[in-house]
């Protein structure tokens, strides 16, 4: 099993719909992150969490919300999806040490 | 704000043709510079962490070096399986996140 699992892998949704992307990890790390990746822009941080009771906004949090249900689970929601939220979304974990992040395989989201 | 710029955007190499990728950065108090490899349809995979100017790390045909303003990823005698997008990221003194460059997509032809 993968260390970081994201579901779904692919999703097409309509403008205005609410959608949730889920992430679970078996690394035992406290820190979890949500990034989006767009061609030519690299990975940009949406939200991050250092423990179950700690949630922080990243550089592009508008239009998104998150929930940290447990140490191992961190979900990202789009309250009312819009086409410019079409992107590849990655969840990542870290222990704050020397090996950076462990990433999931990503969710490709298309908003039509 | 931390900034990372990678060049070139794309690099096409013949098998065995060595080359280098550049990562220029500005950061307030570098805690670490990270290199990742990303294959199509997959998440980034950790390669190296560099902490101070002059440091070098190697893994198979890859070698990463660091100066005070930039890092280089050298690919020696590449093979087709080295084809991927290589991402550079920095972690500043605030310690809460990595800031990523847009990546360099390397294609190695047999």
Contact B36 A106 (CB under 8 A): no
**How does DSSP assign chain A, residue by residue?**
--SEEEE-SEEEE-TT--EEEEEEESS--SEEEEEEEETTTEEEEEEEEEETTEEEE-TT-TTEEEEEEETTEEEEEESS--GGG-EEEEEEEE-SSTT--EE---EEEEE-
Quick one: which of B3, B36, B8 has its CA closest to B106? B8
Residue A96 has what pLDDT?
A: 77
Contact A106 B34 (CB under 8 A): no
Q: Which residues of B touch A104 (CB under 8 A)?
A: 43
Torsion of CA B21, B26, B30, B31, to 10 degrees: -70
Q: Are B95 and B34 in contact (CB under 8 A)?
A: no
Cβ neighbour number for residue A89 with a 10 Å cutoff: 22
Contact B49 A98 (CB under 8 A): yes
* pLDDT averaged per 10 residues, chain B (length 110): 93 98 93 94 93 95 96 98 97 82 97
| Minimum CA–CA partner of B37 in chain A | A103
Q: Is B77 on the interface with A (CB under 8 A)?
A: no
Confidence band for A95, pLDDT divided at 50, 70 and 90: confident
Residue B92 has what pLDDT?
A: 87
Q: What does pLDDT average to over chain A?
A: 94
| Minimum CA–CA partner of A5 in chain B | B43
φ, ψ of residue A84 in degrees (nearest 5): -80, 5
Residue A100 has what pLDDT?
A: 81
Task: Scan for tokens 């070096």, then name that residue.
Answer: B65
Residue A39 has what pLDDT?
A: 85
Q: Is B89 on the interface with A (CB under 8 A)?
A: yes
Residue A24 has what pLDDT?
A: 97
Torsion of CA B98, B106, A41, A17, to 10 degrees: -100
CA distance A31 to A95: 6
Interface of A with B (CB under 8 A): 4, 33, 35, 40-45, 48, 50, 56, 58, 90, 92, 96, 98-106
CA distance B109 to A58: 39
Confidence band for A1, pLDDT divided at 50, 70 and 90: low
Residue A97 has pLDDT above 80, yes or no: no
């Amino acid at each position: 099993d993968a260390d970081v699992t994201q579901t779904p892998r692919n999703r097409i949704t309509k403008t205005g719909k609410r959608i949730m992307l889920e992430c679970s990890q078996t690394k035992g790390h406290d820190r979890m992150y949500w990034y989006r990746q767009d061609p030519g822009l690299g990975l940009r941080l949406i939200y991050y969490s250092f423990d179950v009771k700690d949630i922080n906004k990243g550089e592009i949090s508008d239009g998104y919300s998150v929930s940290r249900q447990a140490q191992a689970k961190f979900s990202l929601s789009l309250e009312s999806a819009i086409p410019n939220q079409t992107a590849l979304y990655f969840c990542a974990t870290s222990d704050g040490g020397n090996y950076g992040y462990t990433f999931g395989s990503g969710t490709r989201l298309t908003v039509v | 704000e931390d900034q990372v710029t990678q060049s070139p955007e794309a690099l096409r190499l013949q098998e065995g043709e060595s080359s280098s990728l550049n990562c220029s950065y500005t950061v307030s108090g570098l805690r670490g510079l990270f290199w990742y490899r990303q294959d199509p349809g997959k998440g980034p995979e950790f390669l190296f962490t560099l902490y101070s100017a002059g440091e070098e790390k190697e893994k198979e045909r890859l070698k990463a070096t660091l100066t005070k303003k930039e890092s280089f990823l050298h690919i020696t005698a590449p093979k087709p399986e080295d084809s991927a997008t290589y991402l550079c990221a920095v972690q500043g003194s605030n310690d809460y996140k990595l800031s990523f460059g847009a990546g360099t997509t390397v294609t190695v032809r047999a």
